[in-house]
């Protein structure tokens, strides 16, 4: 089994297709499961479902999405993927 490729980005991000972490100065920060961004407030700037982190911006989009809209369908697809 081969190890995933880890690439350093100019913003000091570490990209790893098999994990949801970003290393920054020795700290491990959450990465949003939907938008793949690191929230400004770290773990306190979002919520987790089954170990998958969603940032507060995506949380607001989820709560304001109309049922049946493309955004709502995207969230349902992601959330179903976490549980099944």
User: What domain range is 74 assigned to?
Assistant: 7-83
Instruction: List Cα–Cα distances, 43 to 22, 63, 76, in angstroms.
Output: 12, 19, 22
Q: 21 near 31, Cβ under 8 Å?
A: yes
Q: Is the pLDDT of residue 9 over 60?
A: no
- Please provide the average confidence, as pLDDT, over all residues in the chain: 77
Q: How many other C-beta atoms lie within 10 A of the C-beta of residue 13?
A: 17
Specify the number of domains making up the chain.
1
Whether 67 is in a domain gets the answer yes
Q: Is the pLDDT of residue 57 over 60?
A: yes
Whether 1 is in a domain gets the answer no
Whether 2 is in a domain gets the answer no
Mean pLDDT of the region 12-27 = 50
Whether 43 is in a domain gets the answer yes
Q: What is the β-pairing status of strands 27-30 and 14-15?
A: unpaired
Q: Give the integer Cα–Cα distance in Å for 36 and 52.
A: 11
């Amino acid at each position: 089994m081969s190890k995933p490729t880890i690439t350093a980005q100019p913003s000091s991000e570490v990209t790893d297709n098999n994990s949801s972490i970003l290393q920054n100065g020795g700290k491990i920060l959450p990465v949003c499961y939907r938008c793949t961004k690191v929230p400004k407030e770290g773990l306190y700037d979002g919520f987790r479902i089954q170990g998958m982190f969603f940032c507060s911006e995506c949380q607001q989009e989820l709560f304001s999405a109309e049922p049946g809209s493309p955004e709502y369908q995207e969230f349902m697809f992601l959330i179903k993927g976490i549980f099944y």
